[in-house]
Structure 1
Amino acid sequence: MSEFKCALCLTQITEENNTNEHIIPNSIGGRKKIRNFICNECNNKTGENWDSELAKNFAPFCTMFGIKKDRGDVPPLRVKTISGIEYKQFEDGTFQPLNPSLNVIAKEEKGFDISIQARTPDEAQRMLEGVQKKYKLKEESIKPLKEQIAVKDFYLDEPIVHNFSFDAEKSGRSTIKSALALAASGGINPFDCNLAIDFLTNRGEPNFGYYDCNNDLVKNRELGLPFHCIYINAIKETGQILAYIEYFGFQRIVACMSNNYLGETNQILYAINPMTGEEIDIIIELNFTPDQIKKIYDYEMYKPESVRVSFGHIMDRAISYSREREFHRVFNKAVAYANQFHDISLSHEQNCHLKAEKIIESLQPYIKNLIKAP
């Protein structure tokens, strides 16, 4: 029989119910896994309830930074502009209208002006056929419009609005579960983390608080890098197990996992660049007294001006990355489009000139957007 029990429900871990638990949820870019930590049923429940809420909170950042997962793509993000128009935003930075639009304006003389914005060419085709049927148009009058259907790049005319929140009930539980998982992966018995266990199993209050002030706990931070980290400092002398958790370089949490630890002093770190999946080397200093922990819980070590600075560095990196990603996307697309054109009657130099013209033609929406950008 296995010596391990599920940290959440105390079920004996067996070959049948053992599971791979991502220490940091894979939905926000975590890679490292642990076994013999929680049972499969608890893995599924907490994933569907806690981790999914955490992923929802950080979805805009996953999309902005193109975060990769072990399996599958980042799902498109539903966004809204300041005027209320809704779109889907994909991980490559492109947008798609949430709903199609159709405008048909009858002219004074015979005929119609038809404007369609569809999500796919097939949808545009069906919409045109609907117009044809409704207005009893002949096939020869609608055929030229069908031939004009094409996928085109477009850019939003106004900013999109993102709302960020982080709740203790679900996202907070996901965060503490991740800290508990890292502690277990480093040889600390999860049941020694009494305050974390009590919170996760509804027997105690939240055992964490938000931390962001002038004294940065990460001593070699690369400004703007949207990294994730969890750091455990188990201190024999004080009986504390402290945890520091940071997501995307700005969401910073300090937790007291235990106040009666009897084991050996131990430090465990997991830090990752979620854009590449590579682990990174950072130095963290984490050593708070019980009085300081209480101040953190009471928001006395959480300064709004520090939060704004931290968030600003991340957004600057996101904007820079978005621009670079968009340039590579449209340029590669333009080259692929231009390579379709080759006239065997022309010289090599003339064909190069032709393809250069086609590249510029394809880049027109991108160039116009750059010109109008502030």
Structure 2
Amino acid sequence: MAKDLQSLGLLIGVKRERGVLPSLAVDNLDGEQLLLHADGSMSPARASFSQTPEGSGAMRIELVARSSEEARKILKGVKRKYPNFDLESAIASSRVQSRYSRSPLNFSLEFGGPLSGRSLVKSVLCFAAVNGVGARDCTNAKQYLAGDGAEACFGYWYESDLILHRPEGVPLHCVAVSNQGTDGQLLGYIEFFGVRRMVVCLAESYSGAPVHAGYCIDPRSSERIDIEFDLALGRADIQASYNYERIPDGSIERAFDLILRHAVKRSAVTARDQAIDRAVQYAFSNLGVGEGAILTEQDVEKLSSLLMHELTPYLMHVVGNRRRQDER
């Protein structure tokens, strides 16, 4: 299930308590293979290396690596093959180049399949158990999890918003369980990033203790959010959700739109900040003055020129995006 949701996690900017989200292999619409990283940056999916014979026994080597460490590792291999190769000179003459994809990325936002379904039902079942529900009372969930041929006990729900007073633009992670107004059923609800919304029938005939509990966080910060929810759904509603009949036209797109608009804004801010950081580091690294030195007028002019040189790819990217938007 985590793999199914990885692209959304990277788009939205999920923060983990430990480590970061793994990079995701993506293609842009021009067919370029890239890796999208947790900080929003991208790199080629793999290094490219070529060698072309030239006159007098010389060999021209071209290398595009994803990091200085990777470049050094590959060039060490070249050194072993060609002992006269000047490794340190090649590394010293290499440079970091930033460029922007001119083509949109092609994301897969699909979710589903037997393993994903069982994973989400297990999550709701565990939450029910934490809130005092006995596993023996969750008959439908137990049958689904135990038997390969059992009917899936969950379905997508976009007919109405089961979360009351939903905070706008927040990509909620939510799990809830209730038997209030459910026609004798024990129902669960689970939501990922505010866009994947599913109801779960833990038991179609529940006789255990009353329960009505929910837990919700903003995955961008792990901050808990207090929410109210209403799972007062009848048996016909649940069966209809199993048959994909509670997904009105355009409802999924509307759910995605609210979240992705905020994700796009976040991505733009991140790209701007990264471009500024790179430009500042580049400018001061190439200014040629000592740390703490007082800058002369010539130094300031050179600093401005270096900053603009490094910022130009980003500025051209922004201008190009606006032109393409205006042409639509």
Post-superposition CA distance 1:96-139 (Å, at most 9, x none):
2122224567899x9987643222334445666777999x8976
Letter aligned with residue 89 of structure 1: L
Cα deviation for residue 302 of structure 1 reads: 1.2
1:75 aligns with 2:75: no
Q: Which residue of 1 is the match for residue 7 of structure 2?
A: 60
- SS of 1:209's equivalent? strand
Q: Structure 1's 231 and 87: CA in aligned 2 closer, same or farther, altered over 3 A? A: same
Contact 1:232-1:267 at 8 Å conserved across structures: yes
1:119 aligns with 2:66: yes
Cα deviation for residue 351 of structure 1 reads: 5.4
1:88 aligns with 2:38: no
Cα distance in 2 for residues equivalent to 1:279 and 1:133: 55
- SS of 2:228's equivalent? coil
Cα deviation for residue 151 of structure 1 reads: 2.4
Q: Structure 1's 111 and 190: CA in aligned 2 closer, same or farther, altered over 3 A? A: same
Q: Which residue of 1 is the match for residue 46 of structure 2?
A: 99
Post-superposition CA distance 1:54-102 (Å, at most 9, x none):
1111111111122122322211111122233212111011112122224
Q: Which moved more, 1:249-258 or 1:159-168?
A: 159-168
Q: Which residue of 2 is the match for residue 372 of structure 1?
A: 320
Q: Structure 1's 233 and 352: CA in aligned 2 closer, same or farther, altered over 3 A? A: farther
Letter aligned with residue 105 of structure 2: I
Cα distance in 2 for residues equivalent to 1:280 and 1:348: 53
1:242 aligns with 2:187: yes
Cα deviation for residue 358 of structure 1 reads: 3.6
Cα deviation for residue 174 of structure 1 reads: 0.8
1:362 aligns with 2:310: yes
Contact 1:168-1:206 at 8 Å conserved across structures: no
- SS of 2:27's equivalent? strand
Return the match for 2:176 from 198, 207, 231. 231
Tell me the C-alpha RMSD between the 2 structures. Answer: 3.1
Q: Which ranges of structure 2 fall in alignment gaps of 5 or more residues? A: none
Cα distance in 1 for residues equivalent to 2:182 and 2:90: 78
Letter aligned with residue 197 of structure 2: R
Contact 1:236-1:262 at 8 Å conserved across structures: no
Post-superposition CA distance 1:300-340 (Å, at most 9, x none):
21124111111222222221111112222222333344444
1:283 aligns with 2:231: no
Q: Which residue of 2 is the match for residue 30 of structure 1?
A: none
1:207 aligns with 2:153: yes
Q: Structure 1's 182 and 352: CA in aligned 2 closer, same or farther, altered over 3 A? A: farther
Letter aligned with residue 60 of structure 1: S
Q: Structure 1's 128 and 182: CA in aligned 2 closer, same or farther, altered over 3 A? A: closer
Return the match for 1:158 from 103, 121, 125. 103
Residue correspondence of structure 1 range 12-31 to structure 2 within 5 A:
none
Q: Structure 1's 356 and 337: CA in aligned 2 closer, same or farther, altered over 3 A? A: same
Cα distance in 1 for residues equivalent to 2:184 and 2:257: 37
Cα deviation for residue 361 of structure 1 reads: 3.1
Contact 2:24-2:35 at 8 Å conserved across structures: yes
- TM score, norm. by length of structure 2: 0.84
Letter aligned with residue 75 of structure 1: P
Contact 2:181-2:231 at 8 Å conserved across structures: no
Q: Which ranges of structure 1 fall in alignment gaps of 5 or more residues? A: 1-53
Cα distance in 2 for residues equivalent to 1:253 and 1:57: 15
Cα distance in 2 for residues equivalent to 1:369 and 1:133: 40
Contact 1:236-1:265 at 8 Å conserved across structures: no
Q: Which moved more, 1:332-341 or 1:306-315?
A: 332-341
Cα distance in 2 for residues equivalent to 1:62 and 1:237: 32
1:298 aligns with 2:243: yes
Q: Structure 1's 336 and 121: CA in aligned 2 closer, same or farther, altered over 3 A? A: closer
Q: Which residue of 1 is the match for residue 139 of structure 2?
A: 194
Contact 1:211-1:302 at 8 Å conserved across structures: yes
Contact 2:36-2:43 at 8 Å conserved across structures: yes
Instruction: Give the fraction of aligned pairs with identical amino acids, expressed as a percent.
Output: 29
Return the match for 1:334 from 279, 282, 290. 279
Higher relative contact order (Cα pairs below 8 Å, separated by 6+ residues):
2
